[in-house]
Amino acid sequence: MTRRVTVMLVDDHAVVRMGYRLLLSQTATIEVIAEAETGEEACQKFVDCAPDVVVMDLNLPGIGGLAAIRRIVARDPAARILVFSIHDEPVYVSRALDAGALGYISKSGAPEMLIEAVACIASGQAFLEPGIAHQLASQEKPHTVPLMDRLTPREFDVLCLLAQGRSTRETAEQLRLSAKTVANYVTTIKEKLNAGTTAELVKLAYQSNLVPR
């Protein structure tokens, strides 16, 4: 009998994880063995459970999805991580792949694609949703992309939340940081991106397609 592909689901919404679990249970070749709702929990459970594939959201409390990917891959370079995110903008995809993810699909895609992607990632092959792959292939890098590359994963998370209209306090709550720490991050981000105000940061975020239009 062929061994099942073991999967860990990482998403901060229990109902969403339940939906993933039900979807993946439709095939006899995949078994969900663990779930996590924060980046830190994902890193710990990866060590404890050693899943074949990690299905990872990017918008997570705590260290966030990008940092979690980096930590997992730093511990196990052979880790197979599939990002399953609401964001399909090339800048997010590039950041995730650079962090060490092996695949990327969007939550707006067909449900069956998750099953296909998990099977593909489990075999060691990369998998990109066709529309996302086309965007990456056809994209001419705007001048703001190298600018965003100056940011650490945590700084990138902070900027994305600010661009979505979150206040410093709300950003701190989402990332489970103190408001002072987030304020310090904002100061550093402004310096790195040569922005004088938070409004200018948000404008740069929109220009770099960090926020869906």
Q: Which residues have CB under 8 Å from 178's CB, separation 6+? A: 172
Query: Does 11 score more than 70 pLDDT?
Result: yes
Q: Is there a single domain that holds both residue 102 and residue 176?
A: no
Q: Please report whether residue 213 resides in a domain.
A: no
User: DSSP states of 122-146 as a string?
Assistant: HTT--EE-HHHHHHHHHPPPPTHHH
Q: Which residues have CB under 8 Å from 14's CB, separation 6+? A: 37
- Average pLDDT, integer, range 147-158: 83
d(C-alpha 53, C-alpha 46), whole Å: 10
Q: Is there a single domain that holds both residue 150 and residue 48?
A: no
Q: Is there a single domain that holds both residue 79 and residue 173?
A: no
Helices first, then strands: H and E counts in the chain: 11, 6
Q: Is there a single domain that holds both residue 97 and residue 182?
A: no
pLDDT over 90 for what percent of the chain?
46
pLDDT digits (tens, 9 = 90+) for 194-205: 888 887 887 888
pLDDT of residue 143: 47
pLDDT of residue 212: 58
CATH number for the domain that contains residue 165: 1.10.10.10
Report helix, strand or coil for 76. Answer: coil
172 or 42: which carries more pLDDT confidence?
Answer: 42
Q: At 144, is the pLDDT very low, low, confident or very high (cuts 50, 70, 90)? A: very low
pLDDT of residue 26: 87
Number of compact structural domains in the chain: 2
Q: Please report whether residue 176 resides in a domain.
A: yes
Q: Which residue has the tokens 């940011």?
A: 151
- Average pLDDT, integer, range 93-115: 90
The answer to whether residues 66 and 101 touch, using CB atoms and an 8 Å cutoff, is no
Residue span of the structural domain in which 173 resides: 144-207
pLDDT of residue 68: 93
Last residue of one domain, picked from the residues 105, 138, 171: 138
pLDDT digits (tens, 9 = 90+) for 124-138: 899 999 888 887 777
Query: Does 72 score more than 70 pLDDT?
Result: yes
pTM, 2 dp:
0.77
The two tokens of residue 34 are 């663990």
